[in-house]
Amino acid sequence: MSAVSPTAAGTGSRVRAFLRLVMIEHSVFALPFAYIAALTAMRPRVDWATFGLITVAMVAARTVAMAANRIIDRHIDAQNPRTARRELVTGALSVRTAWTGLAVALAVFLGACAALNWLCLALSPVALFFLTIYSYAKRFTDFPQVFLGLAQAIAPVGAWIAVTGHWSWAAFVLGLAVGTWIGGFDLIYSCQDVEVDRRIGVRSVPVRFGVPAALRASAVVHLGTFALYAAFGAMTGYHWLWYVGLALAAAVLTYEHQIVRPNDLSRVNRAFFTANGLIGLALFAFAVADLLFLQGLR
């Protein structure tokens, strides 16, 4: 029989707790759009080494952002019943270990940026700024979703720069689409905390304007999202498969808005996690199909 040392077991449990803390599985929300930007910029041939480095950079950057958010917000989280069981609040993970995990992810991110090209490395501090400022935004503005959207917009823009080494307006439009998509989601998600946020002094659109107004704003923002996705397709020469995927994603998003009501927020998690994950994966699948079968990607 083999034995596992207490030190190794303890390290493994801390790693697992850290991965739960940063919700590593939720990388699925932004990563598909980084892939869409990267594959579009790579046409007609995929550079798999660059694709792999983009994956590493994106997951590491998101881990930095999530770890920073959990560390910065741990005292706020402790006052909210929905978040009071997060690892830094319960003590399942120490703040020191969270900082260690953040530092490792930061080193991986910077290393991947350096391996991609000099512009990615030069712009990495800008990316890190936007990835962390959201955690503070709720303390000084009623519109923290704007900062979340800016952070999410970095993924496709950064992926395009990683491939080409230069700026692209098409990637910027895709970034705006992703940013308004996630920001609009967060308008819905933040509605479930409105009473607690008012009590503890956290600022948001629902706190300032009310839940019905936040849900209406989310719907308007998401209309803009799909106009931006369509504009990206037109700017980059996508064909009908992209627009079929866009139509299916619009149907899922419409369903999401239908199941969340001002007087019934019980299905917010279904809308936020299930529907959003399906939208990201569907758009990615149809983009890849368009690239492979209609644009000759290989």
According to the model, what pLDDT value does residue 2 have? 46
According to the model, what pLDDT value does residue 22 have? 80
Can you give the pTM of this predicted structure? 0.91
According to the model, what pLDDT value does residue 5 have? 44
Q: How far is CA 69 from CA 34, 77, 138, in A?
A: 22, 10, 11
Q: Can you tell me which residue has the tokens 């948001």?
A: 204
CA-to-CA distance for 62 and 47, rounded, in angstroms? 23
Reported as type and span, the H/E element at residue 36 is helix 31-42
| Domain definitions of the chain by residue range | 23-293
Q: How far is CA 168 from CA 146, 234, 288, in A?
A: 21, 14, 20
CA dihedral 77, 137, 104, 23 (to 10 degrees): 50
Do the Cβ atoms of 59 and 31 come closer than 8 Å? yes
For the beta carbon of residue 164, count every other beta carbon within 10 angstroms: 16
Geometric angle at alpha carbon 141, from 136 and 147, rounded to 5° = 60
Q: Can you tell me which residue has the tokens 């503070």?
A: 136
Do the Cβ atoms of 138 and 144 come closer than 8 Å? yes
Do the Cβ atoms of 149 and 143 come closer than 8 Å? no
Give residue 250's Cα distance to chain centre: 19
- Ordered alpha helix ranges (H), the chain: 6-21, 31-42, 48-72, 74-77, 87-90, 95-116, 118-137, 144-164, 169-189, 194-200, 205-209, 211-236, 240-259, 268-269, 276-293
| Tokens at 129, concatenated | 């700024």
Query: What are the mean pLDDT values of the chain's consecutive 10-residue runs (298 residues total)?
Result: 47 81 71 94 95 95 92 94 91 93 96 97 94 91 94 94 96 96 90 92 94 95 95 97 94 85 77 73 93 91
According to the model, what pLDDT value does residue 271 have? 63
According to the model, what pLDDT value does residue 163 have? 97
Q: How far is CA 239 from CA 77, 243, 288, in A?
A: 45, 7, 11
CATH number of 23-293: 1.10.357.140
Long-range contacts of 228-234 (CB under 8 A, 24+ apart): 228/173, 228/174, 228/176, 228/177, 228/180, 229/174, 229/177, 229/283, 231/173, 232/170, 232/173, 232/174, 232/177
Q: How many residues does the chain have?
A: 298
